[in-house]
A and B are shown apart, each in its own frame.
Chain A
Amino acid sequence: MYAIEFKDVAFSYGEGGFRIPKLDLAVKEGEFVAVLGHNGSGKSTLARLANGILEAERGSITVFGTPLDEKHLYEVRKQVGVVFQNPDNQTVASIVEDDVAFGAENVGAPREEIARRIDFALSAVGMSEYRHATVSRLSGGQKQRVAIAGVLALKPKIMILDESTAMLDPRGRKEIVDVVLRLNREEKMTVILITHFVEEALLADRAIVMNRGEIVMRGTPAEIFARHEELTTYNLALPRIAVIAQRLSEGGMSVKSTLEIEKLADEIAGELSCGS
């Protein structure tokens, strides 16, 4: 059974608007999948389809075997947490703990249970000491971590981050990526990370590239970044490390295209000592 499975899904924003003609995607439990794509590639639509904010016109979406339909909408929503792009626009309450409680309150969790969930969610994102802080005084990365905690309070099994790092500075981005990685590795959370920062995709088990509503590339990050010419046609740049490796090999140094800094450094060092 897959954590989430899109089968032959089609969607459109009305006549002449953006459309997804056919989408097939299956994500295993505990997997970390990066979804790459330029603006308007349909990657955010994917997130909104996954927890029923948008309704598919055709095909089926199943979450741990439960079909996403009207009857199971909230059951599925509880399992699929979505963190959006703008941290300011997804916080409901002014105080951190009140906001984290919101989701748990919505599904009718008892008071003591809500308190436990807040404890868990805030410590999972490393924000326990800000429990009583005012949301508007936090940094972007901190606000986004609170948003993640708000989703975690619903105890989801799948976490979708819809460009959640796009509005953050490099430090905030790192904070979020670290939190997500830890959730994936330690809590066995299934993660779908939607982004246009190719660097973030390096951490994933698998990456897919979307363009104009279709999945155009699938594979491990290494496989995908090896096809750099194809990647540029979808307006995606290579991660910096891949660019360096590529330039070096163009310049006559025999380094294999690698995505790990240490490995590349070793290869360069080896190459240099051979040459001398």
Chain B
Amino acid sequence: MKDVSFGQYYPVKSFVHRLDPRLKLLFLIVFIAAIFVADNFWSLGLCALVLILAVAFSRVPVGKVLRAVRGVIVLVVFTAAINVLFYTGKSEPLWAWWIFSVTREGIVFSVFLVARLVLLVTCSSMLTYTTTPVALTDGVESLLTPLKWIKFPVHVLALIMSIALRFIPILMDETERIKNAQKARGADFESGSLFKRVKAIVPVLIPLLLSAFRRADELGDAMDARCYMGDKKRTKYKKLVFTWRDLVAFLIGALMLAATILLRIYGADLFGVLLGPVI
């Protein structure tokens, strides 16, 4: 249980790992925007190319990246099937039965959607593969700083995030311990109906909650003892710095988004109907 690397961070040193977490968060947002702006295979291909470059420069094994896709494979197949079977195109159906019909456009459209989905999942998982949870928290805090203007407790939110991350492995250990203690007293978590199994979890949850509250209490005292007084006059040790790497990544992101927008506007004229907009 100890080895649960929450957030699936893949620890190597690479170009992508060294990027500023703020930039990576923004890049993910830009990337998602780009794949939703993209309405033809050329734009989507461009996004894919950028992503492939990112994977190549991150030194995360391709197998690991694909594993993230495997997690949503059911969703992908389901989406594809539904779209192929129910797409009502203008052209003659290639195959039809009852309420289902398969058209050429339907197939193209499904492939497009699946590509989008795969890109989306891969890009998000690249963020967690290459960024530690701590860096991610720092990045979120820094990006949300403008919200301090409207009195949004950015610092508190970031602290809650980092303490939560800190306590995940501890509480998982604890759950395992309590479960074993209950098993030793004859509790059965594996058999019976779903309802029965859910009910069996209650005697685990209650001691877990109690202990979590006790821990919170002690942590509060320990934070007080270390002079915690909110974020007034607090300094930060870790400083996020923008480097040339971040500039490169920023330019790539900006170009990609610009290209997808231009292709959406002028793409139909350039490539004609055949390879023009799918949506």
Residues of A within 8 A of B (CB): 48, 51, 53, 74, 77-78, 81-82, 84-86, 88-95, 97-98, 101-111, 114-115, 118, 135-137, 147, 150-151, 154
Contacts and interface: CB of A to CB of B under 8 A. Distances in A.
Contacts of B229: 74, 106
Given A104-B237, A108-B235, A53 B218 contact: no
Contacts of B166: 91-94, 135-136
A3 to B, nearest CB: 17
A77 B227 contact: yes
A106 B228 contact: yes
Contact of B134 (A98, A104, A151): A98
B162 to A, nearest CB: 6
Interface of B: 2, 132-134, 159, 162-163, 165-166, 169-170, 215, 218-219, 221-229, 233-239
Given A93-B134, A93-B166, A109 B235 contact: yes
A150 B227 CA distance: 11
B165 A150 contact: no
Contacts of A135: 166
Listed from nearest, the 7 A-B pairs whose CB atoms lie closest are A90-B222, A103-B226, A89-B218, A101-B237, A108-B233, A136-B169, A82-B225
A53 B170 contact: no
Q: A interface, by DSSP: helix, strand, loop or mixed? A: helix
Contact of A111 (B2, B165, B239): B239
Q: B interface, by DSSP: helix, strand, loop or mixed? A: helix
Max chain B C-beta neighbours (<10 A), residue from A95, A147, A154: A95
Given A74-B227, A90-B222, A109-B235, 7 more contacts: A86-B218, A89-B218, A90-B219, A93-B134, A94-B133, A98-B237, A118-B237
Contacts of B165: 94
Nearest to B5: A134
B218 to A, nearest CB: 4
A154 B166 CA distance: 22
A196 B223 CA distance: 25
A136 B222 contact: no
A104 B233 CA distance: 11
A53 B221 contact: yes
B219 A92 contact: yes
Contacts of B133: 94
Given A78-B227, A92-B162, A151-B226, A105 B236 contact: yes
Nearest to A100: B237
Nearest to B215: A89
Contacts of B239: 111
B222 A154 contact: no
A63 to B, nearest CB: 14
A111 B227 CA distance: 17
B237 A94 contact: no
Contacts of B237: 97-98, 101, 104-105, 111, 114-115, 118
A105 B162 contact: no
Given A107-B227, A151-B226, A90 B235 contact: no
A81 B215 CA distance: 20
B222 A89 contact: yes
A97 B223 CA distance: 16
A114 to B, nearest CB: 4
Nearest to A134: B169
B234 A106 contact: yes
B235 A88 contact: no
Contacts of A136: 2, 166, 169-170
Contacts of A107: 227, 233
A97 B236 CA distance: 12
Given A105-B237, A108-B234, A114-B237, A95 B134 contact: yes
Contacts of B236: 105, 111
Contact of A51 (B163, B169, B225, B234): B225
A81 B134 contact: no
Contacts of A105: 234-237
Nearest to A108: B233
Max chain A C-beta neighbours (<10 A), residue from B134, B227, B239: B227
A77 B228 CA distance: 10
Given A74-B229, A111-B239, A92 B223 contact: yes
A53 B225 contact: yes
Max chain A C-beta neighbours (<10 A), residue from B132, B218, B237: B237
19 contacts: A51-B225, A53-B224, A53-B225, A78-B227, A84-B222, A91-B166, A92-B159, A93-B166, A95-B134, A107-B233, A108-B233, A110-B235, A111-B235, A111-B236, A114-B235, A135-B166, A147-B222, A151-B225, A154-B226
Nearest to A110: B235
B214 to A, nearest CB: 8
Contacts of B227: 74, 77-78, 103, 106-107, 154
A56 B169 CA distance: 37
A109 B227 CA distance: 12
